Amino acid sequence: MSVLTIKDLHAEVDGKEILKGVNLEIKGGETHAIMGPNGTGKSTLASVVMGHPKFTVTKGSVTLDGKNVLDMEVDERARAGLFLGMQSPAEVPGVTNSDFIKTAMNARLEEGKNVSLFKFILEYDKAVSELKMNEDLPHRYLNEGFSGGEKKRNEILQMKMLKPTIAILDEIDSGLDVDALKIVGENVTKMKSKDLGLLLITHYKRLLEYIEADFVHVMMVGKIVKSGGVELIKKIDTEGYDWIKKELGIEDVRVIVEEEEEKVLLGVCATKEALGL
Ligand SMILES: Nc1ncnc2c1ncn2[C@@H]1O[C@H](COP(=O)(O)OP(=O)(O)OP(=O)(O)O)[C@@H](O)[C@H]1O
Ligand SMILES: [Mg+2]
Is 127 inside any structural domain?
no
In a domain, 125, yes or no: no
Structural domain contains residue 243 = yes
Q: Is the Cβ–Cβ distance between 184 and 156 less than 8 Å?
A: yes
Name the domain count of the chain. 1
3-state secondary structure 78-139: HHCCEEEECCCCCCEEEEEHHHHHHHHHHHCCCCCCCCCHHHHHHHHHHHHHHCCCCCCHHH
Report yes or no on 221 lying in a domain: yes
pLDDT of residue 112: 83
Say what the pLDDT of residue 248 is.
Answer: 94
Within a domain: residue 47?
Answer: yes
Atom of ligand 1 nearest to the CA of 55: 1
Residues within a 6 A CB radius of ligand 1: 13-14, 18, 36, 38-44, 54, 87, 254-256
In whole angstroms, give the CA distance from residue 49 to residue 63. 9
185, part of any domain: yes
d(CA 2, CA 108): 16
Q: Are 80 and 34 in contact (CB under 8 A)?
A: no
Residue 90 lies in a domain: yes
- Which has the closest alpha carbon to 163: 115, 105, 218? 105
Which residue out of 13, 254, 262 has the highest number of ligand 1 atoms within 8 Å of its CB and is therefore the one to mutate? 13
| Domain CATH for 212 | 3.40.50.300
Whose alpha carbon is nearest atom 28 of ligand 1? 39
**Non-local CB neighbours of 118 within 8 Å, separated by 6+ positions:** none
Domain extent, residue 210, equals 3-94+165-275
Hey, is 167 helix, strand or coil? strand
Which of 256, 259, 261 is the pocket-test mutation for ligand 1 (most atoms within 8 Å of CB)? 256
Report yes or no on 129 lying in a domain.
no
pLDDT string in tens for the chain (277-residue length):
899 999 999 999 999 999 999 999 999 999 999 999 999 999 999 999 999 999 999 999 999 999 999 999 998 999 999 999 998 899 999 999 999 999 999 988 888 888 999 999 999 999 999 999 998 888 899 999 999 999 999 999 999 999 999 999 999 999 899 999 999 999 999 999 999 999 999 999 999 999 999 999 999 999 999 999 999 999 999 999 999 999 999 999 998 766 555 555 555 556 556 666 5
CB 89 within 8 A of CB 154: yes
pLDDT value, residue 263 = 55
CA–centroid distance, 113 to ligand 1, in Å, is 39
C-alpha of residue 118 to centroid of ligand 2, in Å: 37
